[in-house]
Structures are given as C-alpha cells and as structure tokens.
C-alpha cells in the first residue's frame, strides 16, 4: 500500500511540473548524450523502513520513465550505471537481487523498447554475470542491433579504469601483430577501442542522491561533461527532475578551455 501511494504521488508530481519545465527547455540545445549514475536506492528504501531491495525495484521504475523521457526528447544516447566493478563487494544476496532485476526488466520491457526503436547496448565486462542475465542481455542487444533511435548503454560490471586498460591491451595486441604502430595512436583511435566507440561523449552527467564523485564511471568519456548533482534519491528522480537537469545544463557556458 505504502509503495502504491508513493508511486502515485510521484506520478502526479511529475505531471504537474512537466509542462512548466518543458517550456524552459530549448529543444535545439539538448544534450546529445546524457550519462546517469543511478544512486540512492538503498537510502531511499532505508528512509521508508523498507529493505534495500525495495529501493532497487523502485529504481527500475524510475529508469523506465527516464528512458521514455529520453525517447520523447529525442536524445541520442543515454548511458546508465547499473552495476560497477566495485559493486561485487556488496552482500551476495543484494548482488543476486540486482542481477535478477536485470533479467526481469529485460523480459518485461524488451518488446516495447524494440518497438520504440531503442538500441540496447550493454557495456562492461559481462563475462562474470550470471548466465541468465547474460542470455537476456545478449538477446536484447541482438534484437535491437539495427534500431536507429535512442542508444541505451547499460553499464554492468563496468569500471572506467578497466575499460581504459582493456582498450590499451587491444591496441597493444594490434601493435604486436604489426597491424598498427605506436605512433598511430591518437585520441580518436583510442576512443574507438572503448565501449562507446562511435558515440558522442556525454554532455551531461547526472548523479542523484547527493554524492559528489564519479565512482569509476566513464573516466575517459566524461572529460568535458557538465556535472549535475541533486540530493534526490534515484527512486524519486522522474521526468521533471530530468528536465530540471537539462534546463540547468542549458545555462552553462561550455568553454572547453577557451574563452566565452
């Protein structure tokens, strides 16, 4: 009951703020790529006297709404941090719950996401994930491979340092095989060996829940992203909060080291 009433209040709050906020958004200056660290599920649950798993479940609901909003806004790329290389340190039971939620989510949402022309791209080292999760992730990737709408990167067993090391290894192997010379390595070539090859870098990084750190996320790609922090926990994040972040982003002066 508690959860239901909460969902309703979130829904209505969302709808109330949305038209007003939408007016503040310049549709011609949207971020091409939005990256999100979906954080605060545990604290959200704790604040309501619920188990952490309830927070993760509510967080999944938020994700569905945010994907929908990105499709509506015609944002090109959305990257979400779902499980880091460090999250294995959590109790086994919590890891299992998170992995099961991925399976459940994809089974439920894949058809609709495919219909919406979304291209699902799991990023990270999927090897150590449970077989069932891998199966659903590969199915989602293959089913939506040729879709031309929103690119949805979902970072799982992802670590920015690991990604950079793997890119360095791949390049090193090409050099060893004499397919490349060390001197040929450029920033573009290097970026082409990352999971996000061919995609624009994130323009906007959103971290809810009040933490001010990047927790090993997209270390290379975030070089010139605009950061947006909010104390709102991820399960309470919604379309209105996304619009607020975008409105804030549009006020920034991006100088890239130059002058305004």
Binding site for ligand IPE (CB under 6 A): 37-43, 81-84, 87, 98, 209, 211, 213, 215
Number of other CB atoms surrounding residue 255 within 10 Å: 9
Residue 143 to residues 65, 178, 223, Cα–Cα distance (Å): 21, 36, 32
Shortest distance in whole angstroms from residue 54 CB to Mg ion: 15
In sequence order, what are the residues at sequence separation of 6 or more whose Cβ sits closer than 8 angstroms to the Cβ of residue 70? Answer: 34, 78, 150, 242
Rounded CA-CA distance 201/101 in Å is 28
Shortest distance in whole angstroms from residue 154 CB to ligand IPE: 10
| Angle (CA) 200 209 150, round 5° | 30
Q: Which is nearer to Mg ion, 39 or 236 (CB)?
A: 39
Rounded CA-CA distance 21/239 in Å is 10
Choose among ligand IPE, Mg ion, none what residue 179 binds, the Cβ cut-off being 5 to 8 Å by kind.
none
**155 SS3 class:** strand
Pairing of the two strands 77-84 and 33-37: parallel
Q: Which is nearer to ligand IPE, 50 or 180 (CB)?
A: 50
* Binding region for Mg ion (CB under 5 A) out of 32-40, 104-112, 186-194, 227-235: 32-40
Q: Which is nearer to ligand IPE, 30 or 62 (CB)?
A: 62
Where does the chain have alpha helices with state H?
2-24, 41-47, 52-73, 92-115, 131-143, 160-176, 187-191, 239-250
Q: Which is nearer to Mg ion, 39 or 163 (CB)?
A: 39
**198 SS3 class:** coil
Choose among Mg ion, ligand IPE, none what residue 82 binds, the Cβ cut-off being 5 to 8 Å by kind.
ligand IPE
Shortest distance in whole angstroms from residue 43 CB to ligand IPE: 3
Phi/psi at 150 (nearest 5 deg)?
-55, 130
Residue whose C-beta lies closest to ligand IPE: 42
Q: Which is nearer to Mg ion, 39 or 241 (CB)?
A: 39
Choose among Mg ion, ligand IPE, none what residue 199 binds, the Cβ cut-off being 5 to 8 Å by kind.
none
Q: What is the DSSP letter of 200?
A: P
Shortest distance in whole angstroms from residue 46 CB to ligand IPE: 7
Q: Does 39 bind Mg ion (CB under 5 A)?
A: yes
Shortest distance in whole angstroms from residue 223 CB to ligand IPE: 19
Residue whose C-beta lies closest to Mg ion: 39
Residues known to be catalytic: 39, 87
Count of residues interacting with Mg ion (CB under 5 A): 1
By CB under 5 A, name the binding residues for Mg ion: 39
């Amino acid at each position: 009951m508690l959860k239901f009433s909460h969902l309703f209040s979130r829904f209505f709050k969302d709808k109330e703020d949305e038209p007003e906020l939408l007016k503040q958004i310049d549709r011609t200056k949207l971020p091409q790529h939005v990256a999100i660290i979906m954080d605060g599920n545990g604290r959200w649950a704790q604040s309501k006297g619920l188990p952490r798993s309830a927070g993760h479940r509510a967080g999944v609901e938020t994700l569905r709404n945010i994907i929908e909003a990105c499709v509506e806004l015609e944002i090109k790329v959305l990257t979400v941090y779902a499980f880091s290389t460090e999250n294995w340190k959590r109790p086994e039971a919590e890891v299992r719950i998170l992995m099961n939620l991925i399976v459940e989510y994809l089974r439920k949402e894949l058809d609709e996401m495919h219909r919406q022309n979304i291209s699902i791209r799991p990023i990270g080292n999927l090897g150590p994930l449970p077989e069932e999760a891998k199966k659903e992730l590969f199915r989602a990737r293959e089913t939506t491979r040729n879709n031309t709408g929103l690119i949805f990167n979902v970072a799982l067993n992802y670590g920015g340092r690991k990604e950079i090391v793997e890119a360095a290894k791949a390049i090193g192997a090409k050099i060893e095989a004499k397919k490349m010379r060390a001197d040929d390595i450029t920033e573009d070539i290097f970026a082409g060996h990352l999971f996000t090859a061919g995609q624009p870098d994130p323009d906007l990084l959103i971290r809810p829940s009040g933490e001010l750190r990047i927790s090993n996320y997209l270390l290379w790609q975030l070089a010139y992203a605009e950061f947006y922090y909010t104390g709102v926990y991820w399960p309470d994040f919604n379309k209105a909060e996304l619009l607020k972040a975008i409105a804030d982003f549009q006020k920034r002066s991006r100088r890239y080291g130059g002058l305004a």
